[in-house]
Structure 1
Amino acid sequence: MIAIIGAGKMGEALLAGMLAKDHAQHEVLVTEPREEHADELRARYGIDVVPSEEAAKRADTLLLALKPHDMPALLQQIGHHLSAGTLVISVAAGLTTEALESHLPVSVPVVRAMPNTPALVGEGMTALAGGSHAGPEHLERAEQLLGTVGEVIRLEERHMDTVTAISGSGPAYFYFIAETMVEAGVAMGMPRDTAQRLVGHTVTGAAAMLEGTGEHPVVLRENVTSPGGTTAAALRELERHGVRTAFTDAIEAARDRSRSLSQS
C-alpha cells in the first residue's frame, strides 16, 4: 500500500502518474485536509482519502509531498506508527535524509527525492538520495514510483541541494526566459499569442535537441551562431550585460537557500 501525504500539485501529479502506470486505486491512499479538494480527489481518481495517521498505519510506503516547514510536525504525528518495514520518501525541498531521520524511529528507511513541475505532464526529472537505513531495494522502490512521472537518477546526498537549484527550480528559469522573449516580441509589435507560440516551440525544440542529440550545449549554440550574424549580435549583448554570471549567481543562491531550509 502506498500513501501520498499531501495532495498539492506535486502530490497529485505523482498520484496521477502512479494510477496511469497500473497501480490500482485500492493500492493508493491520499491525505488531504481540505475537504473540498479531498472530495475532488475521490471523484477524479476513485481513491481513499484518509487522515495522515491512518495512512501511516495502513501503508508500507509513504510519499511525503508537504512544504518543508510542515514536515517536522507531520513526522512527529505519524512517527510512532512507522517501523523498519516502512519506506519514507520525501519530496520536500532542502530537507536532508539526516534531518528527516531525526524525527523518525530508529532504522526507518528514508529516501530524499527532488522532482520538478514537468512531472505534471509526465516529463519530470527526479534525483534520489538514500538515507543511512535505505538499501538498494528501497532506492529501487522509490525509483519505480517516481519514474511514473518522468526520468529518475540516483545521486549522493551531498549533491541534492545543487539538484534543487538546477532541476527543481530550473523550470522557473526557463519560464523567466520565455516570458522575456514573449514580451520582447510584443514590444516589437507582434501579437502576443503568436509570440508565445513561437517561443513555446522554440524552447521545446531546443530542449528536445539537447536531450536527443547528446551534444554539449556549447556545440548546439555554436551551430546556431553564424559569424557576424543576428544570433552573434544577440549573444554579445547577453554577455555585455553579464547574463551568464547572473545565472550562476542565481543557481548558487537557490542551492544556499535549499541548505538553509534543512538547517532551520
Structure 2
Amino acid sequence: MSQSTAHTAAAPQTSLPRTAIIGVGSMGGAILAGLRDPAVRIERPIAVTTHSAASAAAFEGAGDLVVFAAEATADANQRAVQGAGLVILGVKPWAIIDVAREIADALEPGAIVVSVAAGVPTRKIEEVLPESVSVVRAMPNTPSLIGRGVTGIAGGVSASADAIATVRRLFETVGSVLVVTEEQINAVGAVSGSGPAYLYLFAEEMTAAAIRLGFDREQASLLAQGTIAGAAELMARSDEDPTQLRRNVTSPKGTTEQALNVLQAAGWAELFDRALAANVRRSEELAAE
C-alpha cells in the first residue's frame, strides 16, 4: 500500500473538537474509552447515545459525558450531535444510512462524520448529508479497548486534509493509525479489523490441541493462551521482525522446526490469501446491497 501513511499512537498535540458518538457498543465504547483518558485534549463533555435506558445508566455519574438513550428520548441522536464538530457513527452497517439521514439537519456546518461500519462507502453517506459536512471511513479493531488498536482511515470526496488529520488524531488516542485510500479500506478491514478474530481462533485451536495432549482446560489455557499473549508482547517490544523472531525459536533440525514444517506444508500462505479475499469480497457485497 504505497499510498498509505502510518502514524503511531501518541497524545494529540491539538485539541479535538466537541465529539458525539452515536452508539457505544464494542467499537464505539472502545473509542469512548480512549477519548475519556485524562491525557487526551478534547472539548468536554462528550455526547453519546445508547439504545436503552439501562445502557445509559451504566454511565450515570460520569461528569465528562452527556448521555442520551434513544429508548427514552425520541430525538436522542439529533440532540447528541448539536454543537459537535466530530460525530462518530458506531451503529451497525445496515443502520448507518438511516442514522446519517436522521441527524443530517442537526449537524453543525463543517462537522466531520466518521463511520466505523464495514462495507458502507462514503458516497452513500455523503448523499444524505449536507454538502458542508466531511465524511471519513475508519476501520478500527478491538485492541483499541486497551489502547493497542490499529485503525485504517480513508476520506471521502468531501473530506479535506484537515478533516482527515482530525480523524487521525481521534484514533491515535486508541492506538496506531494508517491513512489509506477508500479503495484500500476493505483490505485494511480484512487484515487488522478482523485480524483479532484470526488470532483468537488460533488460540482456541492451540488450546484444544493441548487438551488432546492430556492437559486439563486450565493447564491448556495457561500453556497455549499465555504463550500467545507473551509472544505477541515480545513482538511488540522487539526491534526484530516476525521472521527473525521465528528463527530465534527455531533450531536447525530441532523440535520447533518439525512442527513448523507440518504447519507450512498445509499451505498457510494460500490459506491466508483465500481468507482475506473472502473478507474483502463480503465488504464489497455489503457495499452493493
Residue number in structure 1 paired with 2:140: 115
Alpha-carbon deviation of 1:37? 0.4
Does residue 37 (structure 1) correspond to residue 62 (structure 2)? The answer is no
Work out the number of aligned pairs and report it.
264
User: TM-score, with normalisation over the residues of structure 1?
Assistant: 0.92
Residue number in structure 2 paired with 1:147: 172
Task: Answer whether contact 2:89 2:113 (CA < 8 A) is retained.
Answer: yes
Residues of 2 paired with 1:79 and 1:92: CA distance? 18
Alpha-carbon deviation of 1:242? 2.8
SS in 1 for 2:117: coil
Does residue 3 (structure 1) correspond to residue 20 (structure 2)? The answer is yes
SS in 2 for 1:42: coil
Task: Answer whether contact 1:143 1:152 (CA < 8 A) is retained.
Answer: yes
- Larger RCO of the pair (alpha carbons < 8 Å, separation 6+): 2
More helix by share: 1
Instruction: Find 1:48's aligned residue among 66, 81, 102.
Output: 66
User: TM-score, with normalisation over the residues of structure 2?
Assistant: 0.84
Task: Answer whether contact 2:207 2:225 (CA < 8 A) is retained.
Answer: no
Q: Alignment RMSD, CA only?
A: 2.0
Residues of 2 paired with 1:153 and 1:236: CA distance? 34
CA pair 26-209 structure 1, distance change in 2 beyond 3 A = closer
Instruction: Find 1:157's aligned residue among 169, 182, 185.
Output: 182
Task: Answer whether contact 2:45 2:66 (CA < 8 A) is retained.
Answer: no
The AA in structure 2 aligned to 1:55 is: A
Residues of 2 paired with 1:262 and 1:158: CA distance? 12
The AA in structure 1 aligned to 2:24 is: A
Residues of 2 paired with 1:263 and 1:31: CA distance? 28
Residues of 2 paired with 1:138 and 1:222: CA distance? 43
The AA in structure 1 aligned to 2:184 is: H
Q: Which moved more, 1:165-174 or 1:148-157?
A: 148-157
1:160-200 deviation line (CA, Å, top 9, x unaligned): 00000000000000000011111111111123223222323
Unaligned runs of 5+ in 1: none
Q: Which moved more, 1:81-90 or 1:204-213?
A: 204-213
Residues of 2 paired with 1:36 and 1:217: CA distance? 44
Unaligned runs of 5+ in 2: 1-17, 69-75
